[in-house]
Structure 1
């Protein structure tokens, strides 16, 4: 337990502070730092730090400067009081700086990273109220608290976003190939590193997409539009060759909301229409946590259609087999596909 000053010592301290106004000011700042005043909001810690050395030098020279002052008691006592003030100020400044650093770490530097394994999806709510659903095989990161000017998150994989509207703080989804900027909307981003394309599908609102290797190009999407970007995985500094199609914007079919194939995964379904078997196989890998191996390369480009919902893996393969003849065998977590002999 700390020692409490006597009434006489407090009186002497008041006398000392009246004799030396500089010390009185720093003493008041110390009280403010401890929550006993408002001066801490007016005086920056660096200003206090700048005066500490000067104050300490003046304490050491008190005997010389006050040898003939008969109004002050013996100098060793004043030196003790002055040193005590200096210790209080120094302690207050260190406490203030440490608290400020901890606050900065909490607000700006803590980053949450979510890894979703194959066979799973995950839902979460961000600090601003935005709802995010993450597909299997996705990695998503976001800060403990968003900055004042923007709300930045990073995604590798696939995410469905329902963004809380805030016109002053745009919401930005960063992927390896592009950045999606929104104010408040509902959209899906599919950005797996190994997929042939990166897709942004807008259901409600309005988004602006910026390509990482072509930032001056701003692509605006309206509801029921999808942006498809070729995922060639070239260095971001390398621009596409002239005449090469890097992206395209398509319009979604006029279907019911629960029949939009781009967001069917949110309900743990796979909906595909005239898609290559190898692209559907990538979705099967994520949904069922397996690896698909094509033993016949020609089978990769077969066009298939169907809907997979609550079926088991073998049931799902059986449904595809009804329209596209092939053989399959399951060995642990690996599925082998081969062409069926006629």
Structure 2
């Protein structure tokens, strides 16, 4: 249908997306349907540059402005332009309105498809829970207790693969040079092409860390994007989450980043990744931080009645032991005692 093609080409012309070949076709059709040229001229007086986004109210006002223009024109002028247009105005004004709405609506649809974020999925683990998920690109993620992972249900074809982590996760990433993989946390971003690494970034902890098992990653601080730290296999970095404010100046002191080697606590068991094998492991770690791990691992509540015990250091590997057995094992060092109250809360003194 030539008329349908004509109106489609007029809409593309108004949107500024007409090709040279389509422009030639439009000129031929305007010669065939001269009344359409009148609509084209009326709208050209008020049409904004291509790419402008309209609200529904703006569209309504624009159409009303055209109707007002026609009502305000003297009868002699309207009759001089073309005698038959008075009877045809309702038809052509409807067509013109359709062209405008189709063009603006098409822009909304196109820009919406371009800008709307991909549908998201979320994986959450409570205390005592550990799980794993296969991402849409074939990468696999193990999620530790008390953690949350947000990721798209489908990664874009030609864009970075991005996920957001709160808590702890171990990643085995499928290599894809065209689509780098990025993990966002409250303290830093991890950039990687293909590798396996661990990220720990619990919101209640005062530091976050990334441990690299194999491959290569870059860590970018959230508050210092120009500061990039590269990791080699068997290395990890620890970053304070809440930088200390210098007393003499009203500015934030530089973030101190600790880089260290991954050291097995027993045989080949690495504390940072032992949880993936369903093992609870820690090496020369303050009891205060060990307690946090125990709370997440066993879903219990532990408090200190003697704060001096918080700074005691412990190493250990546990797999099938109960919380009572773990505490009994640590208590054998004779550095603290523990008991459980009537409410079930554990106290260390």
Does TM, scored on the shorter chain, surpass 0.5? yes
| Counterpart Cα distance in 2 of 1:95 and 1:306 | 63
Deviation of 1:238 after TM superposition, in Å, equals: 1.4
Distance 1:90 1:235 in 2: 57
CA deviation after TM superposition for structure 1 residue 154, in Å: 2.9
Q: After TM superposition, give the deviation of residue 221 of structure 1 in Å.
A: 0.6
Name the structure 1 match of 2:3: none
Match in the other structure for 1:337: 348
1:174-253 superposed matches below 5 A: 174-234=184-244, 238-240=252-254, 246-253=256-263
SS in 2 for 1:20: helix
Q: Secondary structure at the match of 2:272?
A: helix
Contact 1:23 1:82 in 2 (8 A): no
Aligned residue number for residue 133 of structure 1: 142
Compute the displacement of 1:264 (Å). Answer: 1.4
> CA contact under 8 A between 1:155 and 1:191: conserved in structure 2?
yes
Could you say what secondary structure the match of 1:317 adopts?
Answer: helix
Q: Distance in 1 between matches of 2:109 and 2:176?
A: 30
Q: How far is the alpha carbon of 1:65 from its aligned partner?
A: 6.1
* Matched-pair contact (CA < 8 Å) for 1:155–1:175: yes
Contact 2:200 2:208 in 1 (8 A): yes
1:281-304 deviation digits (Å, cap 9, x = unpaired): 111011111221122334323332
Q: How does 1:303-342 map to 2 (within 5 A)?
A: 303-324=313-334, 326-331=336-341, 332=343, 334-338=345-349
> What is the deviation of 1:222?
0.9
> Kindly tell me: are residues 23 and 253 of structure 1, through their superposed partners in 2, closer, same or farther at Cα, counting changes over 3 Å?
farther
Question: Per the alignment, in what secondary structure is the counterpart of residue 319 of structure 1?
Answer: helix
Could you tell me how far apart the structure 1 residues matched to 2:33 and 2:115 are? 40
**Helix, strand or coil at the partner of 1:179:** strand
State the match for 1:168 in structure 2: 178
**Whole-Å separation in 2 of the counterparts to 1:44 and 1:119:** 56
CA distance in 1, matches of 2:280, 2:264: 18
Structure 2 residue 35 is matched with structure 1 residue 20: yes
Decide whether the 8 Å contact of 1:157 with 1:193 is kept in 2. yes
TM-score w.r.t. the length of structure 2 is 0.69
CA distance in 1, matches of 2:252, 2:98: 59
SS in 2 for 1:133: strand
1:39 is matched with none
Separation in structure 1 between the aligned mates of residue 169 and residue 267 of structure 2, nearest angstrom:
17
Q: In the alignment, which of 62, 81, 88 is matched to residue 78 of structure 1?
A: 88
Distance 2:161 2:205 in 1: 27
Of 179-188 and 267-276, more deviation after overlay is shown by 267-276
The alpha-carbon distance between structure 1 residues 171 and 55, as it changes in their structure 2 partners (threshold 3 A), is: same
Does the 8 Å CA contact 2:243/2:252 hold for their aligned counterparts?
no
Unaligned 5+ segments in structure 2 are 1-28, 42-48
Q: Which moved more, 1:276-285 or 1:81-90?
A: 81-90
Post-superposition shift, 1:250? Answer: 1.9
TM-score, normalisation: structure 1: 0.70
Contact 1:199/1:229 (<8 A) preserved:
yes
Structure 1, unmatched stretches of 5+, are 1-13, 27-42
The separation in 2 between residues aligned to 1:257 and 1:106, in whole angstroms, is 49
Note the aligned Cα RMSD (angstroms).
4.1
Question: Counterparts of 2:137 and 2:77 in 1: how far apart (Å)?
Answer: 60
Cα offset, 1:44, TM superposition: 5.8
Change (3 A) 1:15 1:149: closer
**SS of residue in 1 equivalent to 2:263:** coil
Q: Secondary structure at the match of 1:141?
A: strand
